[in-house]
Structure 1
């Protein structure tokens, strides 16, 4: 699917996804696509980092927006969403104004119960409320809700256990894990056969680079994007993952401007 952004992006601009470890058979960065392309059974997934925890995935089944915030203008160059995925209610993940601007009566949404209760009735009618451990289908895709929570004592107030979600989406033969806001939890370490993962680290809200890299080494996704890291060090994370020997490729997307 060609987007308006694909007509504007240049090969230099697409350097926003930096290859830290080679996994060339899995994906390529394409200037004409304006994102990282991953081959699926019948097509491709193209990933567009937007900002912080927000990204867009074009898939053979439709267009997925994850935690869209920051104003509708950030999404002007992308195709309209078919599915919006919401992990929890914090303002850097759930922005009612942005959501309202992106909303149409064809889009599907999934949300944890805290977000679901804050939605207007018209949106609730198109949204599935999903709790930790639930398995659902949205946009024709199998999706599992994975717990997302803090474990360190002085961080427990940010994301208590049982409230917020991560998700594993099965997309045309690829398995995509969106961790949401979480620390290095057993449920993350227990994941298997993940092709693409989005893993956060920033203190005090989630975890540090060492915790994140340790978890990634355990569940060994083929490709991992650090996201939601603000002033943390994604290069340190990439080094720690490489040192861990899992074989996971780290890609640093342009969540905070052009990658280096």
Structure 2
């Protein structure tokens, strides 16, 4: 028994070492989120945070940059959110260009990227902050490449909603990731011709944009790595995003993910 203190001391060191190693194991909660989330508040893809607000309105956070896409919904929708460095507006309709919401936000240090049609309708107080970009143009703003993609209707009965050349979809390049926001469009050739899109946000609501089937068919052609249905509330309620996912699943290389742009439906 003379050696008991020595053995006890060795055991203590062993258990302390095990405990230390356990603490050094990586936290699985910090890994990239890849599963489908039905009612998520945010989505993290590598170092990009996607924050759905409502309908077409989205916040993208990347490194130190915060980007608002089509801010709408009033000041309450942005409570607790970081002030934007960039604001991108796609079109003149109120669910994209919401002047009341813009006036309620602190945009004192923001640059506002818009097509010419939007610039002509915004109050003069925003003129010095505007950067006009039209279909087919690419500009680098605050170190971020922004490309304006056409968005328009094809069906004869829908031509009155979005005519070619007025509004912009956008491809935003953040680091090595290319993110596409369709804006209000049908499955136009310019969307189908997109290349190397990592994350796509694709609209699907009637009568204003396109059917679930048209959206899925376009996605199957331009093959983004990930696609999020957004802007999917029409005059007859929400589009069938589950059907969209089923149709796109024909190509297993495309991951369909869902965020909740319509939290009011759960209340």
Unaligned runs of 5+ in 1: 1-23
> 1:130: Cα distance to partner?
1.2
What SS does the corresponding residue of 2:227 show, helix, strand or coil? Answer: strand
> 1:121: Cα distance to partner?
2.5
Kindly provide the CA deviation profile for residues 191-213 of structure 1, in whole angstroms up to 9, marking residues without a partner as x.
Answer: 01100110000111000000000
Aligned partners of 1:34 and 1:226: how far apart in 2?
15
Unaligned runs of 5+ in 2: 1-30
- In the other structure, the counterpart of 1:98 is 101
Cα distance change of structure 1 residues 131 and 36 upon mapping to structure 2, 3 Å threshold: same
- In the other structure, the counterpart of 2:239 is 232
TM-score by length of 1: 0.84
Instruction: Could you list the structure 1 runs, at least 4 aligned residues long, displaced by more than 3 angstroms after superposition.
Output: 24-30
Aligned partners of 1:28 and 1:140: how far apart in 2?
30
What SS does the corresponding residue of 2:102 show, helix, strand or coil? Answer: helix
> 1:61: Cα distance to partner?
4.4
Bigger strand share: 1
Bigger helix share: 2
Question: Which of the numbers 230, 255, 259 marks the counterpart of 2:261?
Answer: 255
> 1:80: Cα distance to partner?
1.1
Asked if residue 118 in structure 1 is aligned to residue 118 in structure 2, the reply is no
Question: Which of the numbers 30, 37, 54 marks the counterpart of 2:44?
Answer: 37
- Whether the 8 Å contact between 1:159 and 1:181 is mirrored in structure 2 is yes
Aligned residue pairs: how many?
230
Question: Which of the numbers 198, 215, 219 marks the counterpart of 1:216?
Answer: 219
Moved more, 115-124 or 129-138: 115-124
- In the other structure, the counterpart of 1:241 is 248
CA RMSD in angstroms, aligned pairs only: 2.0
